[in-house]
């Protein structure tokens, strides 16, 4: 099994030997066994609290480089008629400590029927999709 112990920070364009597609939740695991799409077993042994992002490169002790890909997963994508409505939705979701991807034009969160109803009731547009999900990591750079 290949053990990945280091996140590359200096050479972000390093050529990867393989890719590993992970969900948002998987990218918060610093010590876990995963399998690539083509069946290679990989073990993450990273510093506790490491949150991986789409495009990150990890390296094994013997120099193998693996590129992390944000795996598409079920999400709710929220849009609004005005920027203010989108900001208000982000505020209400933040008060509930919901992992949230924030962009200028949409918010994205894990599917939740109660939150979906809240957002629709507030006049927002909510669609269910399967997309890569990259929630904010929090004020201190780690998952909540």
Q: What is the pLDDT of residues 112-137, one digit of tens each?
A: 999 999 999 999 999 999 999 999 98
Q: What is the pLDDT of residues 22-67, one digit of tens each?
A: 999 999 999 999 999 999 999 999 999 899 999 999 999 999 999 9
Type and span of the H or E element at 31: strand 31-35
Q: What is the helix (H) or strand (E) element at residue 41, kind and residue range? A: strand 41-45
Q: How many CB atoms lie within 10 A of CB 70?
A: 21
pTM score: 0.86
Place of tokens 């994508």: 77
Task: Return the pLDDT at 143.
Answer: 43
Q: For residues 131 and 137, is the Cβ–Cβ distance under 8 A?
A: no
d(CA 58, CA 80): 37
């Amino acid at each position: 099994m290949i053990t990945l112990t280091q996140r590359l920070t200096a050479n972000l364009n390093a050529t990867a030997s393989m890719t590993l597609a992970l969900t948002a939740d998987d990218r918060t695991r610093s010590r876990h066994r995963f399998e690539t799409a083509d069946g290679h077993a990989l073990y993450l042994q990273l510093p506790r609290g490491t949150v991986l992002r789409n495009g990150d490169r990890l390296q094994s002790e013997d120099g193998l480089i693996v590129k992390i890909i944000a795996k598409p997963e079920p999400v709710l994508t929220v849009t609004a008629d005005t920027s203010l409505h989108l900001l208000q939705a982000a505020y209400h979701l933040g008060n509930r400590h919901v992992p949230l991807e924030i962009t200028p034009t949409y918010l994205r969160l894990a599917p939740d029927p109660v939150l979906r109803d809240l957002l629709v009731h507030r006049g927002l547009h909510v669609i269910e999709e399967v997309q890569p999900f990259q929630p904010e990591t929090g004020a201190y750079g780690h998952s909540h």
